[in-house]
Structure 1
Amino acid sequence: MTENAQDALAPPSLAQQARRHPVLAEAYKIVSIAVGAVVFAIGLEGFLIPNDFLDGGIVGVAIIVTRFLDVPMGVFIGVLNVPFVLLAWAKIGHRSAIRTGVGIATLSVATIVLHHMHAITDQSWLALICGGAMIAVGIGVALRHGGALDGTEVLATIVASRTQYTVGQLILGINLAIFTVAGFVISWESALLSAVLFYIVVKDLVDRIAHGESGVHMVRVMTTRYQEVASMISEHIKRPVLVDRHQHWYADGPGEDVWLITFTCSRLEEATLVEDIEALDPAANVTFTEISNLHGPLLESMTNRGH
């Protein structure tokens, strides 16, 4: 019996078994995003806010607004993120929007519930490092499972797909503006330390957990069911894909033909695309390579997406 035949007779892996239960698989993703949101809230309410630090994005805006209005910060987190969830629904897809909505709603409720918790530490640098690490873990877990905990991530992903800027560059600009405002409203010391927190602790850890920071990935799918998979991907990303024919080669000689499909996608699209590909061909191999910059026809194709 050949090695390929033995592989075919091998029992299905846990991942293959999970794909047979899409409801459970989706529930797992939703629960993971919710857990990530709770971890984020603990880092925020247990470490950062009691020590007068802040986060970037919509959460940072909510922290600043609560300095002027006597309303729980969690309320602002939920309300200010609603337009971005709707934007995700229209531009990215309903699954990512639902997951993002669940994550943001959980974060909003968790920050309200934990608002009066005592500071876990009053040591500034310890609070920065521990709080930043928890926030990074929460964001990274959400992104890894196809959701987000902040509307700026959604906005940056959509804008990056239509411009030459990366998600990281756009979020950098947004947060620089927020930290500058915080310098006037709260204190320059807190604003500067919060910026250090974001760019030294949070940013790199989020990137490690969520796999990539540019927001655009080059994707390669190796499959034998290339017609179905290529048509599905092209319909999803609203762009043509590249399809090449290859041949497996083993130690004892040539093997079966296989097709390689190449295309680009945003970070928020990654999880849903993998799910759709695996649904059509559970044996497909999918690899992602981060793209730092885009120029030329490929950039134009992403810019014209949906037109």
Structure 2
Amino acid sequence: MARSGGEKERKFELEDNRIDSGIESISISRDYGSLDSSEEKDKLGTEERLDSAYVSSSLTVDSLGDLIEECIISDCENPTDCEYTEEEVNFLTTVTEDGDTILHLAIIHEEQRFAHWLIDLFPQELMDIQNNLYQTPLHLATYLNQPTVVKGLVEKKVLLELQDQEGNTPLHVACEHGFLECASEMVHSASPSKLANMLETQNWRGLTCLHVATLHKHHRLMRLLMKKGVDLNIQEGTSGKTALHMAVELHDVQAVTLLLNRGANVDAAMFNGCTALHLAVGRQDASIANLLCQAGADKMIRNMEDETALDLADGNDDILALFPFDDIQINF
């Protein structure tokens, strides 16, 4: 950056090659919605850039690279003490046609040192700007597993509850991809009321963070959420499944055991009346059915089809052995 003391003013060249917004087609192996690999390399011949589905940004790879290269952060102990030319101020405060700030772009391009410098410089409200994919810088830093950037953002009190175009908060993103460090920074920094709200927030598929962590078998993240007081029996919004129902459907013995040991309601019913035992028996999973029975599952609960779990056993001897003769009701 130009400093006070008569350094020569620079001009930032804005060319036709575009830096693209967001994260929706990042060329990495993790799947996040509809992702497309970018085949373009940046002009400097370095590693492949992270591009999005949009192609109309007004900032270029070269202009971002030049800015980063020419910044001498050590010249100012505090970025807010530095003086900038009008061009530099305009550059730093630019929001692209795709809604990205320079902070979004620094994170996308994994320029973490520059991102930290911008976090020190920017006011909190600027760091909560959502791009055209409704992603904040915190969404992007989480998706790209940059825990130190996440830490810097949460220390500046950015909003944790903002949702992207899929309805995911940054914590949803961490729970989907198993990024424990990023999740820890968020849950440890939130006030009790904000944390409770964040843990109850559903994405557009009706899933809370616990549901997402369970679906992806991220047991360490499940434990983290449990330590923070997540409601184990919260139902997802489409069919009323709890995390226990989901773990049973996945035949995930470890998650089932974890949830039962932490006090999940073994008899919680979906909107159709099915309990976890209905699902385990219907899937012929004798080992999980046995775990549920040992946890005190009610074998005679009927779903909306008037079926008990026993009605779904389909002659499976291992499962039938779990049901005492007294529980079998013969209708004449």
If the TM-score is normalised by the length of the shorter chain, which range does it land in? Answer: under 0.3
TM-score by length of 1: 0.23
Structure of greater Rg = 2
- Larger % of helix: which? 1
